[in-house]
Structure 1
Amino acid sequence: MPAEKLINKLILILQNELNMIRQYNSECEFLHKFVVAKNWMDLEKVLQKLRILADDLSRIDEEREMFVDILKNEMEIATESSFGLLLSRFPQNEQRQINDLKRDIRHSVMILQNRINGIGRYTESQTSALKEVMDILVPDQKGKIYNRSGAASSAGAKPMLFSRHF
């Protein structure tokens, strides 16, 4: 495949990646709303969508890396060379387009990281508040956490599942 077509394919991959990140970000907005509303059924649906999107993002990331390697080979650039060196060999218009896409991807990822961190802080504060209330209500059980079978469990790990009956 000629380098020109590979460059255009890389641009399409980057556009798809940006769209998927934006979609993931949008679903995380719903995730936050459902966590705050304690809407566990809809939360589960959003989590399933996020799992699928995460898998899709992983695949497109691998595809992008593969195309970068193919382009490096096509343009006779060492595989370990930087993406910047490869980009410098592209026509100006494509360089600008790819740089714009990279900037938009970085920006979208930063927004996503902030949103996810915010959800994490919210759930940690809610968990902490609930633990304090439980420690006051049942002081002899203070600091103890139990698993599904009723056995004492470690409090070190962060919760990964939400109870629908909370």
Structure 2
Amino acid sequence: MGICMESIDKLTEIMKKEVDQLTRFAAIGESIMQDLMEKDWEDLQVHLTLSNTLSQSIESAESERDLLYRDIKESLYAAENENFYQVISKLEPEKRDRLTEAFRNLKLALLQAQGASWRIEAYVASAGSTMKELLNRIFPHRKGTLYSRSGAAREAGNNPLVLNKKL
């Protein structure tokens, strides 16, 4: 079980690394939200680039964590359908407690990152629907969905064409 213990230590470290990354991701999400509200498009672009880079790093760490977890699961002869807590219950208390704490912190960091993303999504959706409603009131001829002859949705033209049959 020596190999398993090395894997457990490494898994704990990767989970801590992911917590740090997700915490930074949530902070960048808050910055993106602030940039949107202040209409600071230059900072928004910088924060979106940082967010993209960090998300790739998180994805890489997540893949590594998944591989290590599968190795540990196999080393402990755990069934495929056993969840994380069932698998680590087979470990000695010290290792189990460290992994439980790391996993709990990871879940909390993930919830923070999801919350930041949700706030951005809700703000953008709200601003978009408000803008659409405003444009529909200003330009009532563009209201509703128009369809082409093939049945695909299309946008209304910029200027309506009104024909006077008397001309």
User: TM (normalized to structure 2)?
Assistant: 0.78
Specify the SS of the correspondent of 1:77: coil
Deviation at 1:89, TM superposition (A): 2.1
Runs (4+) of structure 1 moved beyond 6 Å? none
> What CA distance in whole angstroms lies between the structure 2 residues aligned with 1:81 and 1:133?
53
Q: Which residue of 2 aligns with 1:148?
A: none
Q: How does 1:27-42 map to 2 (within 5 A)?
A: 27-42=28-43
> What CA distance in whole angstroms lies between the structure 1 residues aligned with 2:80 and 2:131?
53
Q: Which residue of 1 aligns with 2:109?
A: 108
Q: Which residue of 1 aligns with 2:62?
A: 61
Which one has the largest radius of gyration? 2
Q: How does 1:11-160 map to 2 (within 5 A)?
A: 11-143=12-144, 152-153=154-155
> What CA distance in whole angstroms lies between the structure 1 residues aligned with 2:102 and 2:86?
17
Structure 1's unaligned 5+ residue stretches are 146-151, 155-166
| 1:30-66 C-alpha deviation (Å, 9 max, x unpaired) | 1100011111121111111111111111111111111
Summarize the Cα distance change of 1:144–1:80 in structure 2 as closer, same or farther, 3 Å threshold.
Answer: closer
Deviation at 1:17, TM superposition (A): 0.9
| 1:123-143 C-alpha deviation (Å, 9 max, x unpaired) | 122112222222222222224
Q: Which residue of 1 aligns with 2:150?
A: none
Q: Which residue of 1 aligns with 2:5?
A: 4
Among all aligned residue pairs of Structure 1 and Structure 2, give the percentage whose two residues are the same amino acid.
20
> What CA distance in whole angstroms lies between the structure 2 residues aligned with 1:153 and 1:27?
35
May I ask how many residue pairs the two structures share in their alignment? 149
Deviation at 1:79, TM superposition (A): 4.5
Structure 2's unaligned 5+ residue stretches are 147-153, 157-167
Query: Could you tell me whether the CA contact under 8 Å between 1:144 and 1:153 is conserved in 2?
Result: yes
User: TM (normalized to structure 1)?
Assistant: 0.79
> For the aligned residues, what is the CA RMSD?
2.3
Code of the residue aligned with 1:87 in structure 2: it is I
